[in-house]
Structure formats: C-alpha cells, structure tokens
Amino acid sequence: MSLEVIDVSGLATIQDSGRIGWRKFGVPTSGPMDRFAFNAANILAGNTPDHAAIEIGLGDIAFRALQDCVISVAGVGYGLSVYIWDFPLWSSYYVRAGWTIRLNKLNSGMWTYLAVAGGVLSQSILDSRSTYLRGHLGGRDGRQLQAGDVLKSGISSHPLTELAARTLPEDARPEYSDNLTLDVILGPQEKYFTEESIEKFLSSEYTMSRTSDRMGYRLEGRQLTHRNKSELISEGMTMGAIQIPSSGQPIVMMADSPTTGGYPKIGTVASADLPLLAQCVPEKSKIRFQATTVAKAQQKYRKLMSGLERIVEE
Amino acid sequence: MFTRKQKQKMQFKPRIVPLGDSSILIQLGDEIDPAVNRRVHALAGLVENSSIAGVIETVPAYATLLVHYDPLVLSFAQIKNILREKLTQIQENESRKPRQVEVPVRYGGEYGVDLELVASHLHLKVEEVIRIHSEKIYTVYMMGFTPGYPYMGKLDDALIMPRLEIPRTRVPAGAVAIAGLQTGIYSIDSPGGWNLIGWTPLKLFDPTSESPFLFEPGDEVKFIPENVS
C-alpha cells in the first residue's frame, strides 16, 4: 500500500519513536514532537509505537491513496478531510484507492500525525526511520517530504476492516490548551540562579518565539539572572530540559535536541506535559511553570500513557 | 602531601540528581580533568555492561554521566539506588584498557589554514606546533556538537589558542582543530569556531557503515603526521 504526496506547504517528516542508543556519539534522538499523539495515531492504525508515521506542522499537506488502506490521524491544529467528507482527528478511517486525504492547518496547535496500517516504510539509518533534518539523516533522504514522494507502507498484522473506525475518546487525551501551566522538575543547575530568578521563573508568563523549531522552543518573558556563571562544562541533556543562556530567556530542548549542552538548566518539563508544550502556538499560547517532584511527574506520565489503552471501536 | 588541587578533587562528593523524570545525572567533578573523565567512562562501562532493564542509554561527558531511562519501567528511587551501587564499583573498572586509534594528519596547507597563524600567535615554529600536537596521546572526553565529533584533551599548555572571534560558516569534515586545552576533528561539514591546523582522510561518521563512528567516548587517540610531498 502506498500514499503519494500531492501537495505540501507545511513541514512534513517521517518520524518513528526515535533514534535510540546513539546519543553518546552525538546523534540526537529526533522522533515525534508530541509523543502522545504520535503513539495514539500508530495504535489507532493497529501499529506499535515503533512504526514510522508522518509528522506535519506549520502548513498543509495532501495525499492520494494509491491502494486501499487504513489511516489514522491524531494531533492538534488540523482539519482532516478524506474524499468528500470532513472527519474528526484521533480516529482511524478506511481509505479507497484514488481518494484524496487532506490535512489543513487551523489556528491552534502545531503538530499532527498521520499513521498508515503497517507503518510508513523508509530507509532505516542508525536503527531508526526518524528524520533529523539538520543532520540530513533518516526518513526520506534526510529531508522533509515534497510533492511527488510516494510513501510505501508495511503489511499490517490485522485485517484492514478491523482497524477502521476506531477512536480515542477525548477524556483519554492530554488537555491541550493555549493557556498552560506546565509541571517542571527543578535542577540540576538551579543553584546557578538567584532565588529571585527561580521565583520569577515560577510566577511569570512566557510566550513562544517564532524562531522555535524541532530542536528547541525559545520562550520570551521576564529575564532571569545567573548568580555568577552563565556557562558550565558541557553535559548530557534531553527533551524538555530548560536551558538559560546569558540572554536570560529560556530555551526548552525539543525532539531534535543536541545530546549535550553547556548552559545552566533551571529545570526540565515533565514528560506528561511535553505534548502540551509541543502544541503551543508561537506568540499566542501563554505558558507558566510550576514545580513538581520526579515521583509525581512519573505518576502523571504513567497515567497519561495508560489513556492509550482506551481506544474504542465505533 | 597533596596539592590543593588534588585535595579539591578528592573532596568532590558525587552528586546523583534528576534531569527531569526520565534522565538522571551523576556528577563526578566540576572541571575538565583527565582523571575525573576516566571515572566517568569507567562508570559508563559499568552501567552499559549491566544491561539494566529500563535503562535506555548513557551519555558520558567531561565530568558527568547522564543516564536516560524509561519511567514506565524504573522509578527515580530505583535507578538512583542502582547507580549509587555502581559508583562504589568504579575503582575496579577504571583499569580497563581503552581502545587506541591512530589518526593520520596532513598538517597545514589547504585544510590546516590556521597553522601558520597559530604558530606565530604562540611564538613557535610550524614544525614545533606539529611536534607538540602529535606527541601526546589524547582521550576522547566526550562526543557531541555533530554526530561523531570527538572532544579530546588535554592539549599541551604551549598550544592554548582562543576560539575564532567569528566562527567559519563551513569547516570540512576531517579538519583537525584546536581551542583552549582541547583538540577535535570535524565529523561532518559544519560551521566551526576552532583553529584549523590539519586534516585527516579518515571518515569520522558514515551512517551507512557497519560501524558508523570512528571514535567512541573514552578512546585514546594518537595523531600521526603525514609527509606532504
């Protein structure tokens, strides 16, 4: 089964669960910006989260189905139409050969995932199909998708008719919003900041800059002050880590985060809240931070991910 | 008698702290120091060889080891206890023999464009820069910046150079460079702010190869000057 990209104005890349095991060599993980929506799309299509799907952001995309297939779409900020019908996201659909699938960008949200039963196939680089644009690795020749690309899918282990018309109920999804309070685990370098700055960080409102990308989200708000040093000797970091460079404005590392960095990290966004952050709209969403503990954050993440088991047949 | 610096090093109490809810950082020191870095690699080896369920991967850096884990499998308290235990076993593992990699280098010329500038800045002859740089065996402290880029040291004090004021927008893969007490090799064509003194024909990163990376963290590296005829 295959899909042909017939039109694309957004940033569309092939992503799987990420390039695991190569970070010590300096290779970023990549993978989806919103892991929850990505996993949901895969599971709705009868795949495991290890399968590759298409991530679309910033603009529109349209496909033509070259054979009958089952697709699923999950995410925020997109309208879906299949053939002549408009359909809701967070569901799977049977698509006949020749039909057109359109994902049109709406005013809210950022990223949406289209999965195909059997998973999107592409060359696997360092054990992963995820696209790392800066390194020109993975996905379709290390680049974003363009019109004319034909994406083949694998063979699903389920009959297609069993996979269509499944949905993930709204109360099992993250509470996406344009007005967010994100849980943060403070540290490891909270001592690099004045107490007043930590207080400021936890009490003021941030917006996201337009210069944000898959590597990092740049936030704008009240300036934070380092106690004395604004650099440390480089150490490992991860998605969600909040670096404060000398400008005093936070940068939250995202899916294509460099593996190491040398700016002090005031904290890290809880895994359960990363999907909410990922879907923020530049210059629109309002972001606040509140301190939590690792134990609470892990509990919240387990609860969120268990929501993926609540897929129902319609 | 110990020097003040040695005392400081002995006094550094390892810290095990969370980096979010799915990574944990073990800090063994707070400076770029070969002895501290050896302990980091010893610990990384211990963790990787134990194949602990839920541990995804480790990232050794100068003075820290970051362990990425799956919070659906391991709680913070569990991984912290495991790592505390591993910390006590570092000594035995520290004597493990690192891999040794020889790197042929063409110093100067087309790809080592800064070599003469470096020499005059340091009041050395070009030949002396080459001799001092290639005499020592370096350790790959950590990898990062671009896939396969090795941060190596410790460079001889005589070769300390500041970074370029304006980084180059494109440095070719294979360029051998120095900055501060470190030396590195550009692993892919990329921007760069270090002083370029030579070039190696070795490929540091080949994503399609069976072994995609020339180096791994903890390797010992010796530069072999090539005669340009």
What ipTM score was computed for the predicted complex, to two decimals? 0.96
Residue A173 within a domain: no
Mark which of A138, A168, A198 sits at the end of a domain: A168
- Contact between chains at B31 and A233 (C-beta distance less than 8 A): yes
CA distance B213 to chain A (A): 8
- Contact between chains at B56 and A125 (C-beta distance less than 8 A): no
Residues A19, A163 share a domain: yes
CA atoms in the 13 A half-sphere facing the CB of A189: 27
Q: Tell which phi-psi region holds residue B32, choosing left (phi > 0), alpha (psi between -120 and 50) or beta.
A: beta
Backbone angles phi, psi at A261, to 5 degrees: -160, 160
Give CA–CA dist A32/A120, Å, rounded: 14
SS3 A310: helix
Superfamily of segment(s) B100-225: Cyclophilin-like (2.40.100.10)
Residue A174 within a domain: no
Give CA–CA dist A151/B67, Å, rounded: 35
Judging by beta carbons within 10 Å of its beta carbon (0-12, 13-18, 19+), is residue A215 exposed, middle or buried? middle
CA distance B5 to chain A (A): 18
Question: Residue B91, Cβ neighbours under 10 Å: how many?
Answer: 10
Those residues of chain B that have pLDDT short of 70 are 1-10, 92-95, 228-229
Residues A153, A190 share a domain: no
Residue B167: which of B195, B186, B145, B188 has the closest Cα?
Answer: B195
Contacts of residue B30, defined as CB under 8 A and 6 or more positions apart, other chains included, come to A233, B12, B63
- Sort out which chain A residues have CB atoms less than 8 A from B62's CB and list them: 233-235
Contacts of residue A200, defined as CB under 8 A and 6 or more positions apart, other chains included, come to A222, A224
Residues in chain B: 229
Write down the pLDDT at residue B229: 45
| Token pair listed for A153 | 């899918």
Mark which of A117, A145, A168 sits at the end of a domain: A168
- Sort out which chain B residues have CB atoms less than 8 A from A188's CB and list them: 15, 17-19, 25, 27
Residues A183, A163 share a domain: no
Contacts of residue A16, defined as CB under 8 A and 6 or more positions apart, other chains included, come to A31, A50, A51, A52, A53, A119, A128, A129, A130
Q: Considering CB atoms only, which of B20, B31, B213 is closest to A185?
A: B20
Q: Considering CB atoms only, which of A27, A188, A258 is closest to B19?
A: A188
Judging by beta carbons within 10 Å of its beta carbon (0-12, 13-18, 19+), is residue B136 exposed, middle or buried? middle
Global pTM reads 0.93
- Contact between chains at A26 and B187 (C-beta distance less than 8 A): yes
Residues A227, A154 share a domain: no
SS3 A311: coil
Q: Which of B12, B16, B17, B21 best probes binding to A when mutated, by most A CB atoms within 10 angstroms?
A: B21
- Contact between chains at A233 and B32 (C-beta distance less than 8 A): yes
For A126, the closest chain B residue by CA position comes to B207
From residue B175, alpha-carbon distances to A128, B15, B98, B103, B131 in Å are 28, 36, 24, 12, 18
**For B4-93, CATH number?**
3.30.1360.40
CA distance B92 to chain A (A): 23
| Token pair listed for A224 | 């934070």
Determine the structural domain holding residue A185 and report its residue range: 179-309
Q: What is the CATH number of the domain that holds A262?
A: 2.40.100.10
- Sort out which chain A residues have CB atoms less than 8 A from B25's CB and list them: 188, 235-236
Q: Considering CB atoms only, which of A24, A137, A238 is closest to B20?
A: A238
For A134, the closest chain B residue by CA position comes to B146
Give CA–CA dist A29/A20, Å, rounded: 6
CA atoms in the 13 A half-sphere facing the CB of A183: 18
Residues A277, A249 share a domain: yes
Give CA–CA dist A41/A54, Å, rounded: 10
- Contact between chains at B77 and A187 (C-beta distance less than 8 A): no
Give CA–CA dist A201/B227, Å, rounded: 57
- Sort out which chain B residues have CB atoms less than 8 A from A238's CB and list them: 19-20, 22-23, 66, 68
Residue A25 within a domain: yes
Contacts of residue A56, defined as CB under 8 A and 6 or more positions apart, other chains included, come to A10, A11, A12, A75, A78, A103, A111, A112, A113, A114
- Contact between chains at A301 and B71 (C-beta distance less than 8 A): yes
Residues A110, A235 share a domain: no
Q: Which residues of A have a CB under 8 Å from any CB of B?
A: 20-27, 125-126, 135, 137, 185, 187-188, 233-238, 240-241, 258-260, 265, 268-271, 294-295, 297-298, 301-302, 305
Give CA–CA dist B59/B66, Å, rounded: 5
The residue extents of the domains of chain B are: 4-93, 100-225
Residues A161, A127 share a domain: yes
- Contact between chains at A237 and B62 (C-beta distance less than 8 A): no
CA distance B210 to chain A (A): 9
Count the domains in chain A.
2
Residues A186, A134 share a domain: no
Residue A197 within a domain: yes
The DSSP letter of residue B226 is P
| Token pair listed for A62 | 């349209």
Q: Considering CB atoms only, which of A24, A126, A236 is closest to B207?
A: A126
Give CA–CA dist B107/B199, Å, rounded: 6
Mark which of A135, A168, A201 sits at the end of a domain: A168
Those residues of chain A that have pLDDT short of 50 are none
Give CA–CA dist A83/A104, Å, rounded: 14
Residues A214, A243 share a domain: yes
Whether the Cβ atoms of residue B153 and residue B178 lie closer than 8 Å to each other: no
Residue B43: which of B23, B59, B19, B55 has the closest Cα?
Answer: B59
- Contact between chains at B146 and A259 (C-beta distance less than 8 A): no
CA distance B39 to chain A (A): 15
Place of tokens 């707070």: B30
Residues A294, A234 share a domain: yes
- Contact between chains at A237 and B19 (C-beta distance less than 8 A): yes
Residue B143: which of B187, B105, B102 has the closest Cα?
Answer: B187
Write down the pLDDT at residue B183: 96
Residues A202, A129 share a domain: no
Whether the Cβ atoms of residue A4 and residue A145 lie closer than 8 Å to each other: no
- Sort out which chain A residues have CB atoms less than 8 A from B149's CB and list them: 26
